[in-house]
Amino acid sequence: MAIRSAEINVMVTCATKVARALTRDFGEIEQLQTSRAGSAEFTERAFNYGTSVLKEILAKARPDRDVLLAGVTNPLLDKTSELWIANPICGRANFSHGIRHFAVTVAHVREQETLATVIYDSVHDDLYWAEKGIGAYRNDRRIRVSERRRVEDMMIGNYEVTDNDPCVHQARSTLAQHTDGVRVLGSIALDLAYVAAGCLDGFWSLSAVPSDCASGTLLVQEAGGFASGMSGTSKPTEGTGILAANGRLHATLGALLRQVQSPPSGR
């Protein structure tokens, strides 16, 4: 059984408090799916409440750190800053439509490097956490990335801000042909948690911004996997996009994706 640090305990307290409110609100939203009333306003209210709780608890724990919401580009996320990056509902569209795949996330980032992270899937009561040099855990049990060696055996996750980009369709089609399947589940943090736990063998996003990736990146790395920018060498905290997989397949997955993104020669 893992022993959590004081910082992880603060992050867990924060995530679970938000999750309790979200569980109640999600029950209401599930009922709204069969009515004419829209769930957008309800979701917005739940998101705003969760944001206020995150900021209140984290600011009280460490007044010297700013709190940045995941999914936004912000100059605070530079090479000298130390801050919290949090998301009350990672998988907001799922939440709004009554789909049980979303999470609360909190990450401690210093100089563009995630030092500690918590991802809480309250629907399934799965608490993922990791701390640099300590390992990655689900419900306080150590997790590891998959050991699969063949591309054709890989199950890959993907998330994009928009599905209208032809590159997105081409990438999904190409990987679906070469692997055991592509899954678009709707939550970057949970997809990366699934990579860390060996449920997914890889994950990519062409459109994820650095703050989207902060929570899941450390989890994958501490579980023995690799997480990088789409170039394969840059950090996912630099630029746009992320590629994560076990060490045996990371380079191969990246090569397949770069073929899709590269224009044919002679054009």
Q: Do residues 113 and 5 make contact, with C-beta atoms less than 8 angstroms apart?
A: no
Q: Give the number of other Cβ atoms within 10 Å of residue 243's Cβ.
A: 24
Judged by DSSP in three states, 104 sits in: strand
DSSP for residue 228 = E
Residues of the chain above pLDDT 90, percent: 62
Confidence of residue 265 (pLDDT cuts 50, 70, 90): very low
DSSP for residue 264 = P
> Given a cut of 60, is residue 144 above it in pLDDT?
yes
By CB neighbour count within 10 A (0-12 exposed, 13-18 middle, 19+ buried), where does 251 fall? middle
Would you state the pLDDT for residue 75?
A: 53
Ranges of each domain in the chain: 6-142, 151-261
Q: In this predicted model, what pLDDT tens digit does every residue of 88-117 receive, in sequence order?
A: 999 999 998 889 999 999 999 998 899 999
Which 3-state string (H, E, C) describes 5-69?
CHHHHHHHHHHHHHHHHHHHHHHHHHHHCCCCCCCHHHHHHHHHHHHHHHHHHHHHHCCCCEEEE
User: Which DSSP string do the residues of 143-186 spell out, in sequence order?
Assistant: --------GGG-EEEE--S-S--HHHHHHHHHHHHHSSEEE--S
Question: CA triplet 236, 237, 238: central angle to 5 degrees?
Answer: 90
State the Rg of the chain over Cα.
18
> Given a cut of 60, is residue 262 above it in pLDDT?
no
Confidence of residue 164 (pLDDT cuts 50, 70, 90): confident
Would you state the pLDDT for residue 264?
A: 41
Determine the average pLDDT of the residues in 198-218: 93
> Given a cut of 50, is residue 155 above it in pLDDT?
yes
Q: Do residues 181 and 158 make contact, with C-beta atoms less than 8 angstroms apart?
A: no
Same fold, 6-142 and 151-261: no
Would you state the pLDDT for residue 263?
A: 42
Residues of the chain above pLDDT 70, percent: 87
Phi, psi angles (nearest 5°) of residue 115: -100, -25
Q: Which of 35-39, 174-178, 247-251 has the lowest mean pLDDT?
A: 35-39
Which residues sit opposite 67 in a β-bridge? 84
Would you state the pLDDT for residue 267?
A: 31
User: How far, in Å, are 58, 61, 140 from residue 69 at the CA level?
Assistant: 12, 17, 26
Q: In this predicted model, what pLDDT tens digit does every residue of 27-68 receive, in sequence order?
A: 777 676 655 556 788 888 899 999 999 999 999 999 999 999
> Given a cut of 80, is residue 204 above it in pLDDT?
yes
- Name the residue type at position 5: S
> For 6-142, CATH number?
3.30.540.10
Mean pLDDT value across the chain? 88
> Given a cut of 80, is residue 128 above it in pLDDT?
yes
Class of domain 151-261: alpha beta
> Given a cut of 70, is residue 76 above it in pLDDT?
no
